[in-house]
Structure 1
């Protein structure tokens, strides 16, 4: 039986977390995720809800791809890293507008959360081999 490497464990954990977050977007944490919709987007309820539902569907898709789609791991890692970059303005908005959600009820907690975004980006790249792919592409 083949031993599962650290990269695979991280990839599956990240995929599982994305799957859970996506389900949470669509169900029991829907209101809290609306707190992360950037305030430069329209803040009416329908737009905020559509943003949360759409991102939840993307998260479920990326989570399943991270776990199951072995043939396209590099592409999936690149897509997940890009997704983390694209949702960063929501986290930044939560910090700048002092919005409490997910237990992030102080500026310090919200700021510390911002520091974890690069870790997620790199984790998506590293666990799928997309980091090496990018280095090889950029060195040519």
Structure 2
């Protein structure tokens, strides 16, 4: 029951973040490192929109695919790992984004990321060991 509630809360967080990325695209462009546009050959706006769409899809999967919850947990954890370089870039360049407008908040976001990964794995685990 607690893991189910945690999974639903994680889905809500992902859905809210995804919607924010779609609505406030320009505000999140600064989080995208320049190398990401070179590697992906995508515009920063497209990367932000794609990450928002991915967050919405992951949120939906957490709720709509309970039989796939372990795989969804790993997918969400992988997403959080994949976007971490953007968080580091934002902290290093001292650029503000919605909700991350101080050095302390940007630094705190870096420490939040591993907790999000653990949350995703724990909330979608079937029993005691989320890595099983």
TM-score by length of 1: 0.84
Any gaps of 5 or more consecutive residues in structure 1?
A: none
Q: Deviations over 1:33-53 (max 9, x none)?
A: 21211232348xx71011011
3-state SS in 2 of match to 1:35: helix
Preserved CA contact (<8 Å) 2:73 2:121: yes
TM-score by length of 2: 0.88
CA distance in 2, matches of 1:89, 1:19: 21
Preserved CA contact (<8 Å) 2:121 2:130: no
Does residue 1:127 correspond to 2:123, yes or no?
Answer: yes
Preserved CA contact (<8 Å) 1:39 1:93: no
Where do 1:1-140 residues align within 5 Å? Answer: 5-27=1-23, 29-42=24-37, 47-129=43-125, 132=129, 134=131, 136=132
How large is the Cα RMSD of the aligned pairs?
1.8
Any gaps of 5 or more consecutive residues in structure 2?
A: none
CA distance in 2, matches of 1:133, 1:20: 25
3-state SS in 1 of match to 2:43: helix
- 1:22 to partner: Cα distance: 1.2
CA distance in 2, matches of 1:108, 1:20: 22
- 1:133 to partner: Cα distance: 5.1
Q: Larger radius of gyration, structure 1 or 2?
A: 1
Preserved CA contact (<8 Å) 1:12 1:66: yes
4+ runs of 1 displaced by more than 4 Å?
Answer: none
CA distance in 2, matches of 1:68, 1:36: 30
CA distance in 1, matches of 2:61, 2:99: 29
